A and B are shown apart, each in its own frame.
Chain A
Amino acid sequence: MSAALVGGRGWLALSALAALAALVFVIALAVGIGKMPISPATTFAAVINGLGLTDLPVRRIEAAVIWDYRLSRALVAALCGAGLALSGAILQSLLRNPLAEPYVLGISAGASTGAVMVMLLGFGAGTLSLGFGAFVGSLAAFVFVVLLAGRGQSADRTILAGVAASQLFNALTSWIVTTSANAEQARSVMFWLLGSFAGVRWPDVALAAGVLGAGLLTCLAHARALDALTFGEDAACSLGIDVRRVRIVLLAVTALMTATMVSIVGAIGFVGLVVPHAARFVVGPDHRRLLPATALVGALFMVLADIVSRLIGAPQILPIGVVTALVGVPFFAVILYRAKGAE
Chain B
Amino acid sequence: MSIDVKDLHWSAGRRAIVQGVSLSVAEGETFGLLGPNGSGKSSLLRVVAGLRPPTAGRVTLGGTDIAQLSPRALARRLAVVAQHATTETAVSVLEVVRLGRTPHHGILSPWTATDDAIVAAALSEVGLSDHRDQLWQTLSGGERQRVQLARALAQRPSHLLLDEPTNHLDIQHQIEILRLVSRLALTTVVALHDLNLAARFCNRVGVLQDGRLVACGTPHEVLTQELIARVFGVAAEVAPSAHHGHPHVQFLMEDAG
Contact = CB atoms under 8 A, between A and B. Distances in A.
A239 B155 contact: yes
Interface bracket on B: 35 or more
B86 interface: yes
Interface in B79-132: 79-80, 82, 85-92, 95-96, 99-100, 102-103, 105, 107
B75 interface: yes
B217 interface: no
B51 interface: yes
Contact of A234 (B76, B82, B102): B82
Nearest to A288: B111
Interface stretch (B32-40, B133-141, B167-175, B245-253): B133-141
Contact of A237 (B71, B86, B88, B135): B71
B49 interface: yes
Contact of A3 (B71, B72, B91): B91
A230 interface: yes
B87 to A, nearest CB: 5
Contact of B95 (A239, A240, A280, A285): A285
A242 B80 CA distance: 16
B1 interface: no
B200 interface: no
Contact of B71 (A2, A96, A242, A342): A242
Contacts of A235: 80, 82, 85
A234 B46 contact: yes
A284 B133 CA distance: 12
Given A2-B135, A234-B82, A342-B137, A239 B88 contact: no
A284 B71 CA distance: 27
A339 B95 contact: no
Contacts of B133: 1-2
A240 B51 contact: no
A147 interface: no
A286 B103 CA distance: 16
Given A239-B100, A240-B71, A96 B88 contact: yes
B215 interface: no
B87 A230 contact: yes
Interface in B152-202: 155
A224 B155 CA distance: 14
B239 interface: no
A216 interface: no
A292 interface: no
Interface in A237-264: 237-242
Contacts of A240: 70-76, 102-103
Contacts of B87: 96, 230-232
A339 B89 CA distance: 11
A232 B51 CA distance: 12
Interface of B: 46, 49-51, 70-76, 78-80, 82, 85-92, 95-96, 99-100, 102-103, 105, 107, 133-135, 137, 155
| Complex A-B, nearest 8 residue pairs according to Cβ-Cβ distance, in ascending order | A240-B75, A240-B103, A240-B72, A3-B90, A238-B80, A239-B102, A2-B133, A240-B71
Given A224-B105, A238-B51, A285-B91, 13 more contacts: A96-B88, A98-B88, A231-B82, A231-B99, A232-B86, A232-B87, A237-B71, A238-B80, A240-B70, A240-B74, A284-B95, A285-B90, A339-B88
Interface of A: 1-3, 96, 98, 221, 224, 227-228, 230-232, 234-235, 237-242, 280, 284-286, 339, 342
